[in-house]
């Protein structure tokens, strides 16, 4: 008699123990353990997965299904060759495509670099520095063949951490005084929430839900309560959270700790995308300083590292990932404010939302509310990329127009004429230049089949084929679908096939788009048809 399946070897168990440390091993930390193995081995060998399952006392199938869900994990079965030690990821999302990523990808593949593999990758959040490439954990912005080869040759694949404002510098300018006033009882929760509400602060990750109201709803739920920070800024064209975290991380951290105080969250989980290695390094340096300074004495702060899954930007999928599972969106209700992390009421806020909290409380609701225009309140951080002279994060009044943003970016790129724009990243649809004076804020674009979402604005020109633009975006959704529901899983695949044809079957595509929008479980599948529908509606000249 022989045992069925793979036979575990004790040396595999010991090898994993050496990598992840001594127990006890928490089920919720499965993804963190997988990262430790991947970082050390440059892959996830089957033997190590088997050893990890043994140490955690969970089924091998459970480990395998999580490991294979995330794009940044490379599972290697017995007898298969391991991937090269260095992986070069070339972003092929829209802004990078416009900047020549496809040509760069082909050039790198032709180099046939020894012990290096070159792969496509979705948006890395460096759209302002397109085309973007990652060599190991090191970003190469405005990448060229020569610059990428230089990084590969140097062997330095560690994160390139920029100069940023650390705890000492932030406190020197008065940072954390608002938090200390909250913790000392000088400020009361009801007044803090009222100030945020009166100021008009909304969720700036995409949904735009009023922040004060969300804090009140979570606070009303029975404890214990948790808090999660959604740092999975994966919407193509979006990079504002990275911009702030790489410059002023403590303004965000203070806002986060105020939020935890307001809802009495006993634990806070910062979920940060793996595509931001520099940000993760900054957080690993600065978060322990908060505990040492006594600033986080009212809560316990955890850092959770994503593993390459756009779907985890959806709050319930993010919570599943925080719990060490596949990032599959949950059916709602119940909402995460009622049943979130480990079944407890959970406050979920975006990075930029929390970034504004200390300043609003310090300067007052009227200060923030008065910054908007066209009926909107507050500031907005617009991620602007594509065919403009100076792409980047543009801090402007809420309700600004794309015409305003193009002007603030120095105008259109040389030789390009404004043709259209994405007002809210890949899922927000596409509008023509004739609609350049619409306010870019929540509730303003829905009648046109679009939305502002995370305020990621990609500018397109007369040099761009809108059919190719829509196809690029649909390929992104096809690759990032979690596969849980048929309308999204099969719908995006079918749409890519139909859109790859020289002549589009418009009627069939419209029917497919309607099914995806109506029947998908979460926002990914529901919004995936938006660029397709926009191109069919607003750019008929590209079909001649």
pLDDT tens digits, residue range 214-271?
999 999 999 999 999 999 999 999 999 999 999 999 999 999 999 999 999 999 999 9
Q: Is the pLDDT of residue 337 over 80?
A: yes
Containing H/E element for 14?
Answer: helix 10-20
How far apart, in whole angstroms, are the C-alpha atoms of residue 349 and residue 315? 9
Taking a C-beta distance cutoff of 8 angstroms, is the pair 312, 277 a contact?
A: no
pTM of this prediction? 0.96
Q: Report residue 375's pLDDT band, with 50, 70 and 90 as the boundaries.
A: confident
Q: What is the pairing mode between strands 116-121 and 86-91?
A: parallel
Q: Is the pLDDT reported for residue 544 higher than 90?
A: no
Residue 394's DSSP bridge partners are 382
**pLDDT tens digits, 150-159:** 999 999 999 9
Q: Which long-range contacts (CB under 8 A, 24 or more apart) does 282-285 make?
A: 282/161, 282/164, 282/245, 282/246, 282/249, 283/245, 283/249, 285/166
d(CA 450, CA 432): 12
- Strand-pairing partners, residue 311, are none
* Whole-number Å distance between alpha carbons of 91 and 121: 5
Q: According to the model, what pLDDT value does residue 23 have?
A: 87
Residue with tokens 């999660």: 228
Is there a contact between 477 and 517 (Cβ–Cβ < 8 Å)? no
Q: What is the pLDDT of residue 474?
A: 96
CA distance readout (Å), 429 to 376, 447, 448, 455 = 21, 12, 9, 12
User: Which structure tokens are listed for 251?
Assistant: 């303004």
With 70 as the cut, is the pLDDT of residue 400 above it?
A: yes
pLDDT band at residue 1 under the 50/70/90 scheme: low
Condensed to tens digits (0 to 9), the pLDDT of residues 77-117 reads 999 999 999 999 999 999 999 999 999 999 999 999 999 99
Q: What is the mean pLDDT of the chain?
A: 96
**Over pLDDT 90: what percentage of the chain?**
96
Residues facing 397 on adjacent strands: 379
**Model confidence at 207: pLDDT above 60:** yes
pLDDT value for 510: 95
pLDDT of residue 3 exceeding 70, the answer is no
Cα distances (Å, whole numbers) of residue 70 to 90, 325, 431: 17, 10, 32
């Amino acid at each position: 008699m022989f045992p069925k399946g793979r036979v575990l070897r004790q040396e595999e168990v010991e090898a994993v123990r050496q990598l992840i440390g001594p127990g006890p091993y928490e089920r919720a930390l499965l993804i963190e353990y997988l990262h430790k193995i991947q970082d050390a081995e440059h892959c996830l060998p089957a033997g190590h997965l088997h050893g990890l399952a043994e140490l955690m006392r969970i089924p091998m199938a459970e480990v395998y299904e999580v490991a294979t869900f995330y794009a940044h994990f490379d599972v290697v079965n017995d007898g298969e060759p391991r991937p090269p030690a260095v992986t070069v990821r070339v972003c092929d999302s829209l802004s990078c495509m416009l900047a020549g990523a496809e040509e760069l990808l082909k050039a790198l593949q032709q180099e046939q670099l020894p012990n290096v593999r070159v792969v496509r990758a979705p948006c890395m959040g460096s759209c302002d520095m397109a085309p973007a490439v990652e060599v190991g954990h090191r970003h190469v912005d405005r990448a060229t063949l020569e610059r990428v080869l230089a990084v590969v040759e140097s062997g330095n694949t560690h994160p390139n951490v920029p100069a940023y404002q650390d705890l000492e510098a932030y406190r020197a300018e008065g940072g954390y005084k608002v938090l200390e006033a909250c913790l000392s009882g000088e400020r009361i929760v009801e007044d803090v929430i009222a100030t945020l509400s009166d100021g008009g602060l909304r969720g700036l990750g995409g949904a735009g839900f009023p922040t004060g109201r969300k804090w009140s709803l979570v606070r009303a739920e029975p404890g214990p309560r948790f808090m999660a920070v959604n740092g999975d800024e994966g919407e193509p064209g979006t990079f504002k959270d990275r911009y702030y975290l790489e410059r002023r991380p403590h303004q965000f951290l203070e806002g986060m700790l105020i939020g935890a105080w307001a809802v009495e969250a006993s634990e806070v989980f910062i979920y940060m995308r793996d595509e931001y290695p520099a940000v993760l390094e900054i957080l690993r340096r600065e978060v322990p300083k908060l505990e040492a300074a006594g600033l986080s004495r009212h809560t316990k702060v955890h850092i959770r590292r994503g593993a390459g899954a756009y779907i985890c930007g959806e709050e319930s999928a993010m919570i599943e990932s925080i719990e060490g599972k596949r990032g599959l969106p949950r059916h709602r209700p119940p909402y995460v404010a009622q049943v979130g992390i480990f079944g407890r009421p959970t406050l979920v806020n975006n990075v930029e939302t929390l970034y504004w909290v200390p300043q609003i409380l310090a300067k007052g609701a009227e200060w923030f509310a008065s910054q908007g225009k066209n009926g909107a309140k507050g500031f907005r951080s617009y991620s602007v990329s594509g065919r403009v002279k100076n792409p980047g994060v543009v801090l402007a009044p809420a309700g600004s127009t794309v015409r305003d943003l193009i002007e603030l970016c120095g105008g259109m790129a040389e030789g390009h004429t404004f043709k259209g724009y994405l007002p809210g990243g890949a899922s927000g649809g596409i509008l023509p230049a004739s609609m350049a004076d619409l306010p870019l804020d929540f509730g303003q674009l829905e009648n046109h089949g679009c939305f502002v979402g995370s305020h990621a604005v990609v500018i397109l020109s007369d040099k761009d084929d809108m059919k190719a633009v829509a196809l690029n975006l649909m390929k992104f959704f096809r690759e990032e679908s979690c596969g849980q529901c048929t309308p999204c899983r099969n719908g995006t695949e079918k749409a890519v096939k139909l859109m790859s044809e020289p002549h589009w079957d418009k009627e069939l595509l419209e029917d497919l788009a309607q099914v995806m929008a109506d029947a998908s479980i979460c926002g990914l599948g529901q919004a995936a048809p938006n660029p397709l529908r926009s191109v069919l509606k607003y750019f008929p000249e590209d079909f001649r």
